[in-house]
Each structure stands twice: as C-alpha cells, then as structure tokens.
Structure 1
Amino acid sequence: MITILGNGTSPFPCSNIYHGKSALSETEVDGVVEYLRNLKANNQNFLIFLDWHSYGQYFLSPWSYSAYAPNPPDYDAMMAMGKAASDAIAAVHGTVFQSGSSIELLNEAAGSSKDWGYVPYDETSKFRGGLGAKYSYTVELRDKGTYGFLLPEDQIQPVGEEMYAGVRAIGDYILRELGFIP
C-alpha cells in the first residue's frame, strides 16, 4: 500500500519530491529543526527564514500546502520583500527571479520548510509549531532548467554575487521596517 502524505509530494524514495518516511524523518532536517526550536525556546526571535534550493529562479513564500489556503496574514509584506530581493538580484547580472507564493508560481508542496518557518511557534510540539518568522522563503537558485541541479562551475560565483545582493536587500528591508534606516 502507498501512503500519500500531502499534495505535491511523492511516496517513492527516488523521486525529487519524495516526502520521506514521516515528518522530520531525515536526520539533517530534524537536527536543524531541533537547533532552531532550542534557540526559539531561549527567546531568540526570528524575523526571516530562508531555505536555499536549486533550481528555477524563484523567491517563494507561503503557502505551499494547499491551493485552497487563504493568503497568510503577512502576505503583502512578504510579496514586497520578495520583490525587493528579486530586483536586487536582477541588478547584478540581469538574472530574473520571480517572487510570489508557491501556489501562485508553481504548485502545492506539502511539508515545505517555508511553511514551517512561517507557522507560529508551539513550545509543546515540534510537529505542530513552526518558527514564527514573519518572512519565510524558499529561494530556488539558477537556472531555469538547462543545467538543473548540475550548474556549471563558471556560474557559481555569479550565483553567490546575486544571492549576496538579494540577502543585502532583505537586510535593508528589515532595517527600514524596524526604523533603523530611512
């Protein structure tokens, strides 16, 4: 019997969208979640959560789990920050990133880390609560499919330069929101 754990996932281990045996079943994911939850339990506040992937040239925000979910409360702010980051990336080498929610730009993807990063923290359960970051994204790096997961070596530095500009734009956005810069 095959169990489907969510839309946009696969029960087959060789699939690029394999959902794992269960929530947080992969040691690395569980370790990162545990580390971040420990910081949160010790009063560390998170404004931003970024998860880097390849490929597609997207700045994706919640929601991913269902095409029928209403936009999150911080949707407009997430769209504005995603656009600022995408514009900064394009200014470096002309690489165009689309920004928007996963549902708008791609498809459903249950179990997405960006959804977990956004969901409010729940101290009682690592399976029910997330990180509570107001801004949560999956960044799908270059390219659009020509090279896919095997980006040529000569594109590594340009990707780094673009991501530096994008992260700097995110920092400036937050500093403006917090009133530290005009």
Structure 2
Amino acid sequence: MIGEGASPWPCSIIFRGFTDLDNVETQAIDNHFQKLKENNRVTKVFIDWHSYSQLILAPWSYDADIDPPIDTDKQIAAAGAMAKAMNETNNVPGGYIHGVGTDILYVSSGTSKDYGYASTPQATYSYTVELRDKGQFGFLLPANQIIPTGNESYYGVIGMLDWIYENDYN
C-alpha cells in the first residue's frame, strides 16, 4: 500500500487510502477473492477498468526492479489480442497499447491488477485497462464516445478470451 506511485494526500489522483482496504470498493474485491478461495473456485481473468490513456497494463506495477511474473509472456500475448480487437472495433484514434505497467506507464503501488495476480486464487490474466482517450478529454469523456468505448471493451474482452481459450485453456 505504501510505496512509489502512491500518494498520502487525499486530493491526489494517486491517493493510496488511509489504510489497507479502507474503502468499500477494495473491500468488495478482497471479499470476492476470499469467497472464491473458501469455495475452491478458480479465477482466470481479472480486469480493473479505468480511464484514461488507452492502455492495457499487466502486472507488476509496484516495483520496476522486481522480476516479472512467471506468466508475463501469456499475459502480454492475451493483452495483445485484447488491444488488437479493441483497435479494430472502431479504428481507435491513437490505438490501445499493452504491456507491463511499469514499462508503459509508471510505478504504481497498491493496484488491483497486482492484487488479482498475487492473491489466492490467482487470476493469471490480471489487468488494469485504461479506456479512452489519450488525454484530450481525460476523465470527462464526451457522451458520443461512451458507446464506442463500451463496444471496444466488449470486443476486446472477447478477443482476449478467445486467445486464452485457444492457447491456455485447461
């Protein structure tokens, strides 16, 4: 929770929270993973949807100097299939790019994707997806871009799941 890429200042867009799991959203995610664990359920994919930047970020994000996850090659390939499908859906201006969070964005501690990958049960394919746009509108995406963004997301997930089914289904 405390680390590079997180701020103790509550007005910051990278505010880390006051304590671990201190808001209902992160508590809900933690509760969901705990229930899966208790019921011996498996999670293959976890996506934390955000705006904006048109990025598909794979673990790790909390430290640029740590060894990559053992599943990085699979994560990047599935993210590539997702990005391809998203870009082809509406010929997205600027396109979605994909990669490890610290490589294509910045160090960010306490991310849901890192938690999703590191938790039990582990979500092998755990991502943060930063939706439209690349900064012109930022967090205030115009209404006329909401449905196209939803369509891109839908077909992106289908593209990723198709890749997982064809390459890593067991």
TM-score range, shorter chain: over 0.9
Q: Which residue of 2 aligns with 1:169?
A: 159
Distance 1:14 1:179 in 2: 43
Q: Identity of paired residues, percent?
A: 41
- 1:116 counterpart = 2:115: yes
> TM-score if structure 1 supplies the norm length?
0.88
Task: List gaps (5 residues or longer) in structure 1.
Answer: 122-130
Consecutive aligned runs of 4 or more in structure 1 exceeding 2 Å deviation: 177-180
SS of 1:5's partner is: coil
Partners of 1:35 and 1:46 lie apart in 2 by: 10
Aligned-partner Cα distance in 1 for 2:110–2:11: 17
SS, match of residue 151 in structure 1 = coil
CA positional deviation for 1:178: 4.7
Does residue 28 in structure 1 map to residue 25 in structure 2?
Answer: yes
Residue 60 of structure 1 aligns with which residue? 57
Aligned to 2:125: 135
8 Å contact kept, 2:33–2:119:
no
List alignment gaps of at least 5 residues for structure 2: none
Q: TM (normalized to structure 2)?
A: 0.94
Bigger Cα Rg: 1
Are 2:10 and 1:13 aligned?
Answer: yes
Once superposed, what is the RMSD of the aligned Cα atoms?
1.5
CA distance in 1, matches of 2:79, 2:164: 12
2:69 is matched with which residue: 45, 69, 72?
A: 72
Q: What's 1:124 paired with?
A: none
SS of aligned partner of 1:51? strand
1:149 matched to 2:148? The reply is no
Q: Which whole-Å CA distance do the structure 2 matches of 1:179 and 1:108 have between them?
A: 31
